[in-house]
Amino acid sequence: MLRRSMLIGMSAIVSLATPNVTFADVVKDAMAEVQKHAGQKTVWDGPITGPKAAEDKTIVVLASDMKNGGVLGVTQGVEEAVEAIGWDVRTLDGAGSIQGRTAAFGQALALKPDGIIINGFDAVEQQAALAEAKATGIPIVSWHAGPVIGPDPEVGLFTNVSTDAMEVSAAAAQWAFADAGGKPGVVIFTDSTYAIAIAKADRIKEEIEKLGGTVLEYVDTPIADTSNRMPTLTTALLQRYGSQWTHTLAINDIYFDFMGPSLATAGIKGDENPKSVAAGDGSESAYQRIRSAQYQSVTVAEPLNLQGWQLVDELNRAVQGQEWSGYTSPLHVVTAENISFDGGDGNIFDPGNGYRDEYRKIWGK
């Protein structure tokens, strides 16, 4: 984290308490923080002990919306891990609506699985179903089901898997600040349907303003309706802010899936301002945009496939009455400069740290 003398408004930078610290130092230090998350991930820092694989288990994945690249990536990781551990899995798609997720959760409970994975939506949204699962003894693990990593017994989660969302948000904001030479004009996109999305967006705003940048607008618009809303919103924001708008920061790559055509229509090239920076998740389409310099510069990616394996490992611990692993997976700042390693050639952040073999060792597989 940047030292306190650097985390002040731009207007006050000229009067820093340390005379030798310049504005250029603030920008340089912001990028140095980003670079801590941009290197290759070659060393396994997760669990090395745990229970052997439980036999003959069936689990259900409740996906918030399989059109969401992060949700899709985690689901694929779960399916890969389930094959390795020797279980069965069924995936139910909530199709991007509360009603759809409620129906999927009801279907999951009717199947009486050995475990349930909530994939990409707030657990508190489905309190009644969670209470029923708890009453019937079905353990639940989750991905991005709330702002807290780890167990949440009050909500009914054995554990919630995520990278450190606040670090993800800070890294995205720091990159935008440094890329703009310390003078970013930022638009932030979030979705108040999700507590974690608001927490991430608030952290982005805090970091930009603390460093001395400007937040032009904080836009709350549903992830599930980005295809309809983003083209019009993009055009309106361009008309409102023009060249003041240097960077777009969003809590998810999906917002950028639908901005490009509006920017192109306005005569803006793919590598020009406003540059797009996602504080999660590292979708395939985001990798493709970054590689081709087409309307996205950065994604702060999560290891989606690894997190799918972790979810299965956590369920294996849950069904055998053990504690969660305590593992928080690493984040990765993906840019055009480092996109070729750690799975980047396959359009995913897939750490080269041997996690598949490590989990197989734990499970005895």
Q: Which residues make Cβ contacts (< 8 Å) with residue 279, sequence separation at least 6?
A: 165, 168, 169, 171, 172, 173, 200, 204, 249, 250, 251, 252, 300
Distance CA 142, CA 213 (A): 35
Residue 235 lies in a domain: yes
Reported confidence tier of residue 11, pLDDT bands at 50, 70, 90? very low
Span 331-342, pLDDT tens digits: 999 999 999 999
The answer on pLDDT for 14 being more than 90 is no
Q: What is the Cα 83 distance to its own chain's centre? A: 25
Residue 355 lies in a domain: no
* Whether residue 186 sits in one domain with residue 284: yes
* Whether residue 204 sits in one domain with residue 91: no
119 and 142 Cβ atoms separated by less than 8 Å: yes
Residue 360 lies in a domain: no
Span 68-98, pLDDT tens digits: 888 999 999 999 999 999 999 999 999 999 9
For residue 10, the model assigns a pLDDT of 35
For residue 195, the model assigns a pLDDT of 86
Q: How many residues comprise the chain? A: 365
- DSSP-derived 3-state class of residue 300: strand
Residue 146 lies in a domain: yes
State the DSSP code for 51.
Answer: P
Q: What is the Cα 177 distance to its own chain's centre? A: 20
Reported confidence tier of residue 224, pLDDT bands at 50, 70, 90? confident
- Show the tokens assigned to 215: 């937040």
Span 293-322, pLDDT tens digits: 999 999 999 999 999 999 999 999 999 999
Count of domains in the chain?
Answer: 2
Of 285, 301, 317, the position where a domain reaches its end is 301
- Show the tokens assigned to 13: 């930078």
Q: What is the mean pLDDT of residues 101-125?
A: 96
* Whether residue 90 sits in one domain with residue 10: no
The answer on pLDDT for 1 being more than 90 is no
The answer on pLDDT for 4 being more than 60 is no
Q: Return the percentage of the chain with pLDDT > 70, whole number.
A: 94
Q: Is 46 exposed, middle or buried (0-12, 13-18, 19+ CB in 10 A)?
A: buried
Residue 79 lies in a domain: yes
* Whether residue 133 sits in one domain with residue 19: no
Instruction: Indicate the average pLDDT of the chain.
Output: 92
State the DSSP code for 39.
Answer: S
Q: What are phi and psi of 91, to 5 degrees?
A: -110, 130
Reported confidence tier of residue 23, pLDDT bands at 50, 70, 90? low
* Whether residue 117 sits in one domain with residue 156: yes
1-10, 86-95, 169-178, 267-276, range with the lowest pLDDT: 1-10
In the chain the first and final C-alpha atoms are separated, in Å, by: 40
Q: What is the mean pLDDT of residues 168-173?
A: 96
Span 29-51, pLDDT tens digits: 899 999 999 999 999 999 999 99
Q: Which residue has the tokens 């923080």?
A: 33
Q: Which residues make Cβ contacts (< 8 Å) with residue 10, sequence separation at least 6?
A: 23, 182, 183, 211, 212, 213
* Whether residue 309 sits in one domain with residue 216: no
The answer on pLDDT for 167 being more than 90 is yes
Residue 208 lies in a domain: yes
Q: Residue 70's domain spans which residues? A: 58-162+305-330
Q: What pTM was computed for the model?
A: 0.84
Residue 82 lies in a domain: yes
* Whether residue 176 sits in one domain with residue 108: no
* Whether residue 290 sits in one domain with residue 171: yes
CATH code (residue 323): 3.40.50.2300
Span 178-194, pLDDT tens digits: 999 999 999 999 999 88
For residue 198, the model assigns a pLDDT of 95
* Whether residue 182 sits in one domain with residue 209: yes
- DSSP-derived 3-state class of residue 159: strand
* Whether residue 129 sits in one domain with residue 209: no
> Which range is most confident: 147-156, 313-322, 343-352?
313-322
* Whether residue 265 sits in one domain with residue 181: yes
* Whether residue 257 sits in one domain with residue 146: no
Distance CA 135, CA 257 (A): 41
For residue 13, the model assigns a pLDDT of 34
Residue 336 lies in a domain: no
Edge-to-edge order in the sheet of strand 332-334 = 214-220, 185-190, 247-250, 275-278, 298-301, 332-334
Reported confidence tier of residue 254, pLDDT bands at 50, 70, 90? very high
Alpha helices in the chain (DSSP H): 23-35, 69-85, 98-111, 127-135, 165-179, 195-211, 226-241, 260-265, 284-292, 304-319, 355-363
The answer on pLDDT for 277 being more than 90 is yes
User: Phi/psi zone of residue 242: left (φ > 0), alpha (ψ -120 to 50 degrees), beta?
Assistant: left
